[in-house]
Amino acid sequence: MGGWRDMPAEALEQQYSPSRWSRRLGSDAVIQAHMAATAAGTRRARAGTRTALHVPYGGGDAEKLDIYLPADPAGTFPVLLYIHGGYWQSLSKEESGFAAPPLVSRGVALAAVGYDTAPRGHMDAMVLQVRRSVVFLAKRFPAARGIYLCGHSAGAHLAAMVLSTDWTGYGVVPDIKGAVLVSGVYDLEPILHTYVNDALNMSREVARRNSPLLCVPAAAPAACEVLVAVAQHDSPEFRRQSQEYGQALRAAGWSVSMLDLAGVDHFDIVEKLSEDSYVLTQVILNLISRA
């Protein structure tokens, strides 16, 4: 059968260490550069945009949103929820506003969500927090022209779990028109056998029930377009996971596009969302404008 189950432990660790696949910088340096770039981009976005910062969507310390608002005061704009990566254990909303300027300038609000990262947060709780943040946005902006999700790495996993939500008990069905999943992990079982699970402490049961690949719902009647994006310099395992999840969504009737971005790695594939001319920025804007 082959696949990740047959990999030696050391090879599996390498496959799930995205920083070891960058061609730009060494493993530690690319992570530091990513944190610096996203933090600086977020500071610029806050300085140049109308914002509502630290808006609570729940009672927990981390349960807050930073909302970057376009000029339209009526609230009839589309809202994009950005869900940060960091392997469910680092980064925060403080580094998650960098993509706002190109969106806000074209009339799209960006909301950056905070959630309890590990070890304080556990996987079930993180998934629930992000789902509740989507419900909060649906209620806060009832006139919004749709909600869009954009998640990177662990954030792409959380966005994919939002797509699998049964909204029956939430009091509202959010109008999710699109999702952009960037360099994500959609099957958590391989993670159990790597260093990543040291902080997450997931059991096989927790990993399976929180694996989007294992809980793909039939496509909702309302159109929701999903873009699954991956970097040329993502690891073969990350690239495989993206391919398999995209195929699983398509098989379940979802409208799916795959985008393989040349010349970028696991980190600058999203850092460049601060740039108007970047191909993924343009793809996101086109996705929103088509709805």
Q: What is the mean pLDDT of each run of 10 residues along the chain (291 residues)?
A: 83 96 95 97 97 97 97 87 97 97 97 97 97 97 96 98 95 95 98 95 97 92 88 98 97 96 98 97 95 69
In terms of C-beta density within 10 A (0-12 exposed, 13-18 middle, 19 or more buried), how is residue 284 classed? buried
| Distance, CA of 152 to CA of 4 (rounded, Å) | 22
Say if strands 147-152 and 64-69 run parallel, antiparallel, or are unpaired: unpaired
Q: How many CB atoms lie within 10 A of CB 264?
A: 24
pTM, rounded to two decimals: 0.97
Q: Which two tokens stand for residue 35?
A: 């944190």
Which among 148, 79, 154, 168 is positioned nearest to 116, based on CA atoms?
154
The string of pLDDT tens digits covering residues 164-220 is 999 999 999 999 999 999 999 999 999 999 999 999 999 999 999 999 999 999 887
Q: For 102, left (φ over 0), alpha (ψ -120 to 50), or beta?
A: alpha
pLDDT of residue 2: 56
E-only strand ranges, the chain: 50-56, 64-69, 79-83, 109-113, 147-152, 176-182, 225-233, 255-265
CA distances from 140 to 137, 172, 217 (A): 5, 12, 26
Helices (H), 75-122: 100-104
pLDDT of residue 1: 41
pLDDT of residue 220: 72
> Could you list the active site residues?
153, 234, 266
pLDDT of residue 251: 95
For the domain bounded by 4-290, which CATH number is listed? Answer: 3.40.50.1820
Q: What share of the chain is helix, strand, coil (3-state, %, to 5)?
A: 45, 20, 35
pLDDT of residue 221: 60
CB 38, CB 95: distance < 8 Å: yes
